[in-house]
Amino acid sequence: MRHDIRSSVCSSPHRRNSVCELNAVVDVTKGGLSHALSKRVDAGLADGRKDGRWKKNRATNRVIALVTVLEGSVSDE
């Protein structure tokens, strides 16, 4: 599951995703996912914007850089 999220974040770092779009990738309730995203926005790890009736989220540039560095230092073994 973590690998799917990391891949999504790094492959399209500037794309914003709604809870519904992210819910298709992870096995977490929409409420749980929404709560987790709110915590990350509060911590400065994600950036959320209202788009009509949807709130779209994306990782901050700092998080994208950290994930990229960490992925290069961890083996898949």
pTM of the model: 0.65
Q: Please state the length of the chain.
A: 77
Give the pLDDT score at 69. 85
Give the pLDDT score at 1. 44
Are the CB atoms for 45 and 60 separated by under 8 Å?
A: yes
Give the pLDDT score at 10. 54
Give the pLDDT score at 6. 56
Tally of CB atoms within 10 A around 11? 8
**Model confidence over 1-51: pLDDT tens digits?**
455 555 555 556 667 888 888 888 778 888 988 888 888 889 988 888 888
CATH number of 2-73: 1.10.10.10
Residue ranges covered by each domain of the chain: 2-73
Give the pLDDT score at 57. 85
